[in-house]
Structure 1
Amino acid sequence: MPSSHDPRSGLGRRALLTGGAGAALALALPSGPAAARPVNSARPFGRHGSPSRRPDDRTLYVHPGGLGDHTGVQAAVDAADGPGWTLVLAPGTYRETVFVDAAQAGMTWIGATGDPRDVVVVYDNAAGTPRPGGGTHGTSGSATTTLRADGFTARGVTFANDFLRTDLPGNPGTQAVAVKVTGDRSAFFHCRFLGHQDTLYADSAALSAFARQYFAHCYVEGDVDFVFGRATAVFEHCHFRTLVRPDLTGAPYGFVFAPSTAAANPSGFLASRCRVTSEAPDGFYKLARPWVPSSDTTARPSLVVRDSVLGPGIDAAAPYANMREAHPWQAQRFAEYRNTGPGARITVPENRPQLTADDAAGATARAYLGDWEPRRFRAGAET
């Protein structure tokens, strides 16, 4: 069991998230920008202009100290009426919930430094948290950030939910979403997603809408089902980190993926050239379990993990489990291809379905995303 000073446990971890950009530097950084850069207080928006040097009339600047157009992210979102706006976020911790409506298509959020540790959007609602008007938030309502617009793009931003199970002792509503994204053509580059249960909700607006989402060089951490939903979601060069569970004494601690792909959707989650690490004991995590929700009992969850490194935290002998016995994982669309690492060892072949080379040729970002090619952000520049 970790001490109270463990940066990812209890109040110690929350303090790092809420302590501002400087404290956030202590948290893990995904593959991407190599090192945290000193923040230039004279140029808080870096190379992205300023309210006095605006590149166009659809760019807004957010600064917690008042040096931008707005001090909060939601205030800037509210001011961005219609499609095609860009928000440049200065370093800081933005403790608020944020909602981007479907009418705000093509919105872009840019962390001013390019380093996701510098810009943190965080709140602490959970599914079981009481709402001011009565009732509780529920899983979707717990999201710190809700993104419904098509064509949303973010670079260099941390999306976090720092709810702790000890905040609601005995309450089973511990799902606490950092971001729920339902828009088609949503892309995230060099971003972080921090939470515990249900961190990243990659979903769609309706059962018939096969939203496409792309995550590149991102870092995602959590414990139970912390990447879940029914979107067609591609993860490339991403780092998934499983956390310790001070509230449990034995395995399993949780599950990385919990897709709920609609049966009619040929493509669910794809993790390619990623890695899974853990701060928990060896074998204490499952790679995935299928989520067949009551709202779609015909769902056939789909997950492919390929060309990735699975650390010893993954149970190699039995990497998959059932969420409900009525929907066994063997009846779903789970498969792997050319994975390496201790958690990828094939010791019980029937527990690790593998793609053939022909099948793997169709399990690529291009095949999953179709005619959409996400805008690429490389070395701080968009291409």
Structure 2
Amino acid sequence: MSEHLRTSPESERTAGTVRPVRQTAGSPHRGGGRALRAGVPLALIAACALAQGSLAHGADFGLAAAAGQAQAAAATSPAWATASADGFASVDALGQNGTYGGRDGRTVTVRTLADLEKYATAAEPYVIVVASTITMDPVGKEIKVRSDKTIVGSGTAGQIVGGGFFLGQGVHNVIIRNLTIRDAYQGVWNDKEHDFDGIQMDGAHHVWIDHNDIRNMADGLIDSRKDTTYLTVSWNKLSQDNKAFGIGWTDNVTADLTIHHNWIRETEQRNPSTDNVAHAHLYNNFLEDVAGTSIKSSYGDYARGRTNMVLENSCFQGMTNPVIRDATATLVQRGNVFSGTSGRNESGGTGAAWDPRTYYAYALDKAADVPALLKSGAGPRGSIGTTSTAAARTTTTARAAAATTLTVAKDGSGQYTTVQAAVNAVPANNPSRVVIAVKPGTYRELVKVPSNKPHVTIRGTGGSRKDTTIVYNNASGTPKPGGGTYGTGGSATVAVEADDFQARNLTISNDFDEGAHQDIAGQAVALRTASDKVFLDGVIVSGDQDTLLVDTASKDRLGRVYMADSQVIGNVDFIFGRATAVIDRSVITLKKRWNGTSAGYVTAPSTAAGRKGILIANSTVNGDVSDRSFYLGRPWHAGGDASLDPQATVRDTTLSAAIRTAPWTDMSGFSWKDDRFAEYRNRGAGAGAASTDRPQLTDAQAAGQEVADWLGDWTPSAS
């Protein structure tokens, strides 16, 4: 966060409570807003690529063209070719910034074993599209994949029969996605002679295994061994095998892994078996043992050794011993559903409690919804790994238009499953508007739009702005994994540092539980803007203390924000900062404090001298709070900076009886009367006549404090 958020060490007192000092924001959360490598741009550069004569998916690159076995993709890359992982695989560690596979390299299509092995074992990065059924020779062959690879099935056509993949010591940044891997089974149940796995990892890190169908192998469907870490396994179908997913083969307790939204059915054991894992996060999985079949489960999720497991919102149906743990393991269960299960169902242990959200953001689906969700959404998808030939022949104009929209859907039906993944896919210094269309749902994640990605719109596609929610719960005092705390600015759920940003038809929230965490500083920002020409159109920004931070890139930089037809919810200083900000035709909802009391402040401007501050116009201020309990604002001289000249004007606005008769107050030793606070032509029970405690603009002064005066040469328009 910019330096104006630093304050002197003294606390600032609010009504009846001690207000902790605002802190300089630290580095972003390890899982959110990470700086990924600059990959091959999305189809946003399609028009440029065509102008240079590139083909959509053509033989111009012609690797192995003589044999006709593989084709390099065009400069234009579809979203699935640039996708990046969530969960622990998204965490920056071991010199690797998340997991994004081969997106920095070319895309090739393979149809033979020779070409698949050629590109998977190459030193350079590749996105390898498997477009046919490839049979391993000999049976049980496991291709030794090297780092920086994406291996993805083309729709449902990509199948690996009779073998799989091996990732050895130090191999990293690998994505295996949208494949069917099957039928290495040699006829011996619990086969000890044939170690034929679908995917085996020994000492790898940063691996994402997603949307695969893995079944009927000789040994395990997936084996994660020998300290393999920063692994995410998501949206897979694992079935028809003795051993589904084994984790361990190590005495070290260092591995971190995420296993979510997998449908594990008709497997006897290792569902998964998790041995000596430092942080094992399992959520929204469906474990199913179907009655009347020849395969009978012996156990479901198993925490072994010194594993520390968090198991959330999963569904267990018909399983024997659905959840078990060793005496040395720690297992926390939350929100799981059990139907027709029998035997052991355990939790407990003496290990230290941990919260997955310390490492990355995620959103939980209801456990009761998991079976239907996974039956329809797990396994290979027809939309992944494919490029329409017809689309490749469209005009340059049509291509450019299509390229401006990226789709986010948490169920996998879009190009991305998280908003941040879509932001990451926007090319640096993009020259024109990119719309990130977010389908209805709750996206529990941190989102950062960096300064080198201007012209971005994040738009909810639901019928209501309440249908699409981006939410997280960091606060100023929340500890960071590497030490220290996030600080006020660093707590933001959505942080915007890029100019010409828009948010439309969605909710941005910070749901930090202040009552449960009175031991730490409770400023918890929902949305932070630190850029110019920010348009907030038809949104809800919701929190408690410090909800909406309208900032600028630096003290000497202009930053304009225009919010229209929206709602801001909070209680203490919940519209604050040094930007030139307009809240127009909107509802400002006052909220009680964590302990049920009514006391608060709507605005806390920290405007630089000679600049416009915060203008509330043509709006309504109300809420279910006590009469005469809220101030309209107070001056925030950030860091004790006496050169600031905070400004707030409230005009042509309906004020409820919650507003105090003397609506402005001092802050941290600075008198509001020395700064710029005024009203004009307000109405409602909270309005009042001019007085020394309630300055009103004259008509002449008001003529210079219109919305247009705040915005200057900028006319916001939705796009």
Q: Are residues 1:366 and 2:715 paired?
A: no
Deviates more, 1:183-192 or 1:112-121: 112-121
Q: 1:211 to 1:343 in 2, by over 3 A?
A: same
Q: Are residues 1:283 and 2:628 paired?
A: yes
Match among 645, 664, 667 for residue 323 of structure 1 = 667
- Structure 1 contact 262–296 (Cα < 8 Å) conserved: no
Query: Which one has the bigger strand percentage?
Result: 2
Task: Report the residue type matching 2:543 in the other structure.
Answer: G
Superposed CA offset, 1:342-375 (max 9, x none): 11123x7111111010110111111111111001
- What is the match of residue 651 of structure 2? 306
Q: TM-score, normalized by length of structure 1?
A: 0.81
Match among 326, 332, 335 for residue 678 of structure 2 = 335
- What is the match of residue 530 of structure 2? 182
- What is the match of residue 333 of structure 2? none
Q: Are residues 1:66 and 2:412 paired?
A: yes
Shift of 1:20: 7.8
What is the DSSP-based 3-state SS (H/G/I as helix, E as strand, rest coil) of the residue aligned with 2:558?
coil
- What is the match of residue 97 of structure 1? 446
Match among 424, 433, 442 for residue 78 of structure 1 = 424
- What is the match of residue 129 of structure 2? none
Q: C-alpha separation between the residues in 2 aligned to 1:98 and 1:152?
A: 13
Match among 338, 351, 360 for residue 693 of structure 2 = 351
Q: Are residues 1:375 and 2:692 paired?
A: no
Match among 536, 560, 585 for residue 237 of structure 1 = 585
Q: 1:247 to 1:79 in 2, by over 3 A?
A: same
Q: Which runs of 5 or more residues in structure 2 are unaligned?
A: 1-362, 367-375, 377-386, 392-398
Q: C-alpha separation between the residues in 2 aligned to 1:229 and 1:207?
A: 11
What is the DSSP-based 3-state SS (H/G/I as helix, E as strand, rest coil) of the residue aligned with 1:349?
coil
- What is the match of residue 548 of structure 2? 200
Task: Report the residue type matching 2:497 in the other structure.
Answer: R
Within a 5 Å distance, the mapping from 1:71-150 to structure 2 comes to 71-82=417-428, 83=430, 84-113=433-462, 115-150=464-499
Q: C-alpha separation between the residues in 1 aligned to 2:671 and 2:594?
A: 29
Shift of 1:246: 4.4
Q: C-alpha separation between the residues in 2 aligned to 1:100 and 1:123?
A: 16
What is the DSSP-based 3-state SS (H/G/I as helix, E as strand, rest coil) of the residue aligned with 1:350?
coil
- Aligned residue-pair number: 325
Q: C-alpha separation between the residues in 1 aligned to 2:516 and 2:655?
A: 32
- Structure 2 contact 514–594 (Cα < 8 Å) conserved: no
Q: Which has the larger radius of gyration?
A: 2
Q: 1:297 to 1:79 in 2, by over 3 A?
A: same
Q: C-alpha separation between the residues in 1 aligned to 2:461 and 2:519?
A: 40
Q: C-alpha separation between the residues in 2 aligned to 1:107 and 1:295?
A: 35
Task: Report the residue type matching 1:192 in the other structure.
Answer: I
Match among 574, 583, 586 for residue 226 of structure 1 = 574
- Structure 1 contact 114–155 (Cα < 8 Å) conserved: no
- What is the match of residue 26 of structure 1? none
What is the DSSP-based 3-state SS (H/G/I as helix, E as strand, rest coil) of the residue aligned with 1:368?
helix
- What is the match of residue 355 of structure 2? none
Superposed CA offset, 1:275-328 (max 9, x none): 100211111111111100117331110111100000011112x11111122x10
Deviates more, 1:337-346 or 1:95-104: 337-346
- What is the match of residue 247 of structure 1? 595
Q: C-alpha separation between the residues in 2 aligned to 1:176 and 1:230?
A: 18
- Structure 2 contact 480–486 (Cα < 8 Å) conserved: yes
Shift of 1:183: 1.2
Q: C-alpha separation between the residues in 2 aligned to 1:19 and 1:160?
A: 16
Q: C-alpha separation between the residues in 2 aligned to 1:161 and 1:248?
A: 18
RMSD of aligned alpha carbons: 2.0
Task: Report the residue type matching 1:319 in the other structure.
Answer: P
- Structure 2 contact 688–694 (Cα < 8 Å) conserved: no
Q: Which runs of 5 or more residues in structure 1 are unaligned?
A: 1-17, 22-40, 42-50, 377-381
Shift of 1:109: 1.2
Q: C-alpha separation between the residues in 2 aligned to 1:125 and 1:100?
A: 18
- Structure 2 contact 544–593 (Cα < 8 Å) conserved: no
- What is the match of residue 292 of structure 2? none
By relative contact order (CA 8 Å, sep 6+), the higher-ranking structure is: 1
Shift of 1:170: 2.8
- Structure 2 contact 515–595 (Cα < 8 Å) conserved: no
What is the DSSP-based 3-state SS (H/G/I as helix, E as strand, rest coil) of the residue aligned with 1:323?
coil
- What is the match of residue 48 of structure 1? none
What is the DSSP-based 3-state SS (H/G/I as helix, E as strand, rest coil) of the residue aligned with 2:422?
helix
Identity %: 41
Shift of 1:169: 2.5
Q: C-alpha separation between the residues in 1 aligned to 2:674 and 2:642?
A: 13
Match among 614, 617, 620 for residue 269 of structure 1 = 614
- Structure 2 contact 515–594 (Cα < 8 Å) conserved: no
- What is the match of residue 517 of structure 2? 168
- Structure 1 contact 20–92 (Cα < 8 Å) conserved: no
Task: Report the residue type matching 2:703 in the other structure.
Answer: A
Q: 1:114 to 1:186 in 2, by over 3 A?
A: farther
Shift of 1:245: 2.0
- What is the match of residue 296 of structure 1? 641
Shift of 1:166: 2.3
What is the DSSP-based 3-state SS (H/G/I as helix, E as strand, rest coil) of the residue aligned with 1:321?
coil
Deviates more, 1:74-83 or 1:289-298: 289-298
Deviates more, 1:296-305 or 1:335-344: 296-305
Q: C-alpha separation between the residues in 2 aligned to 1:324 and 1:169?
A: 22
- Structure 2 contact 492–524 (Cα < 8 Å) conserved: yes
Task: Report the residue type matching 1:209 in the other structure.
Answer: R
- Structure 2 contact 407–415 (Cα < 8 Å) conserved: yes
Q: 1:60 to 1:246 in 2, by over 3 A?
A: closer
